[in-house]
């Protein structure tokens, strides 16, 4: 939640996930006050667009998290913005207190309230950017509405909190070491590589940082990341191993 202008500490939000792959469980159940943790520098593909004329922030539930770091910066710089937060009816007052709902630019929408994505995106000044973080349905609605209204693709930004989900099993062949590894239906490609003793590059494990990208020599990836452009996805020459899988029975990687 730390804003880019705060350089002396980190403030983070970690959601408790019962089926944790490690991080959530470790932070909630293992870490204690006073423990020391070694960190790497932050990596984000969801920054504020510095040249935008106005910013429309649309969050759903825990998707408010990145916007908690945006708000102090936008307010301090006097930048034009609107924040729309969707939440359960019982959470409305808590979000209003957290976000400072006395600010007329901040709008908290409970589940009983009829709110229109169309009205949020219509008649915005040229140069406005929209940012969405939350459930898939919300992000789809914003993306589809923005496309319908002719928003430029580079003015629509999204970040997902969705974790890895399973799929059909496949095999991955590592061309440099001539190793073939089975990827199970409930495993990620990265987990299969690590399980075989391969030290594969990784950082966020959520498809957002790009550290785990590896070149594809053969086979067709099933892209699930938030890093690659549409052109890179269509070319199928690179894969984010932490989330993405294979459409074919076998992938060959240049690794």
Q: What is the CATH number of domain 170-253?
A: 3.10.20.30
**Which residues make up the CATH 3.10.20.30 domain(s) of the chain?**
170-253
What is the residue-level pLDDT of the chain in tens, covering all 255 positions? 777 777 888 888 787 877 666 678 889 999 999 999 988 777 667 888 989 999 999 999 888 988 999 999 999 999 999 999 999 888 999 999 999 979 999 999 987 777 789 999 999 999 999 999 988 889 899 999 999 999 999 999 998 765 556 789 999 999 999 999 999 998 889 999 999 999 999 877 777 778 899 999 999 999 988 788 889 999 999 999 998 999 999 999 999
**Model's pTM, two decimal places?**
0.70
**CATH architecture for residues 45-159:** 3-Layer(aba) Sandwich (3.40)
**Which residues make up the CATH 3.40.50.80 domain(s) of the chain?**
45-159
Look at residues 238, 233, 235, 229 and name the one whose alpha carbon lies nearest to residue 189.
Answer: 238
- Residue for token digits 């089926």? 19
Q: CA-CA distance, 97 to 232, in Å (whole number)?
A: 42
Look at residues 129, 179, 184, 181 and name the one whose alpha carbon lies nearest to residue 155.
Answer: 129
Q: CA-CA distance, 33 to 53, in Å (whole number)?
A: 42
């Amino acid at each position: 939640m730390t804003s880019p202008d705060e350089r002396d500490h980190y403030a983070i939000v970690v959601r408790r996930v019962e089926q944790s792959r490690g991080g959530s469980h470790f932070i909630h159940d293992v870490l204690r006050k006073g423990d020391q943790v070694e960190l790497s520098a932050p990596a984000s593909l969801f920054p504020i667009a510095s040249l935008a004329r106005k910013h429309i922030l649309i969050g759903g539930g825990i998707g408010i998290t990145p916007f908690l770091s945006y708000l102090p910066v936008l307010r301090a710089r006097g930048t034009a913005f609107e924040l729309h937060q969707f939440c359960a009816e019982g959470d409305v007052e808590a979000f209003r207190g957290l976000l400072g709902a006395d600010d007329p630019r901040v709008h908290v929408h409970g589940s009983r309230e009829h709110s229109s994505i169309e009205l949020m995106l219509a008649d915005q000044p040229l140069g406005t950017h929209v940012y969405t973080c939350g459930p898939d349905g919300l992000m789809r609605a914003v993306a589809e509405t923005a496309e319908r209204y002719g928003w430029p693709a580079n003015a629509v930004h999204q970040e997902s909190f969705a974790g890895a989900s399973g799929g059909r099993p496949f095999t991955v062949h590592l061309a440099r070491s001539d190793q073939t590894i089975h990827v199970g239906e409930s495993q990620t490609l990265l987990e299969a590589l690590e399980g075989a003793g391969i030290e594969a590059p990784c950082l966020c494990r959520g498809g957002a940082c790009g550290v785990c990208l590896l070149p594809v020599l053969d086979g067709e990836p099933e892209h699930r990341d938030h890093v690659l452009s549409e052109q890179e996805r269509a070319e199928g020459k690179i894969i984010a191993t932490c989330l993405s899988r294979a459409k074919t029975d076998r992938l060959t990687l240049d690794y």
